[in-house]
């Protein structure tokens, strides 16, 4: 898939990529409702609770970023298709 400094993907695969990103975000979001309780770690319980809270917050931001990426890929698919069509429109006659 890699090409040059970026990434190349066939336009027809974009909806599948958007779907995979959206599915991953939904799975992570669903897991957010099942955060385990803070274990009793004696004097370290508060530190562990802070760490779990930070991890939960970070995973929430990560989930939002994946969801935004999926939406961006989905929203851009039509634009990519239009550009692809414009760029290849005259070549099909030459190749055939």
Per-residue pLDDT of the chain (96 residues; tens, 9 = 90+): 445 577 777 888 889 999 999 999 999 888 877 778 899 999 999 999 999 889 888 999 999 999 999 999 988 888 888 887 888 776 655 555
Q: Per the confidence metrics, is the pTM higher than 0.75?
A: no
**CB distance 21 to 66 below 8 Å:** yes
**CB distance 38 to 45 below 8 Å:** yes
pLDDT of residue 77: 87
pLDDT of residue 41: 94
pLDDT of residue 81: 82
């Amino acid at each position: 898939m890699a090409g040059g400094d970026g990434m190349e993907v066939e336009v027809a695969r974009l909806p599948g990529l958007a779907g995979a990103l959206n599915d991953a975000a939904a799975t992570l979001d669903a897991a957010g409702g099942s955060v385990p309780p803070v274990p009793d770690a004696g004097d370290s319980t508060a530190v562990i609770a802070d760490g779990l809270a930070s991890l939960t917050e970070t995973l929430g931001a990560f989930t939002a970023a994946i969801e935004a990426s999926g939406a961006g890929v989905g929203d851009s698919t039509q634009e990519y298709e239009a550009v692809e069509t414009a760029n290849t429109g005259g070549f099909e006659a030459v190749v055939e």
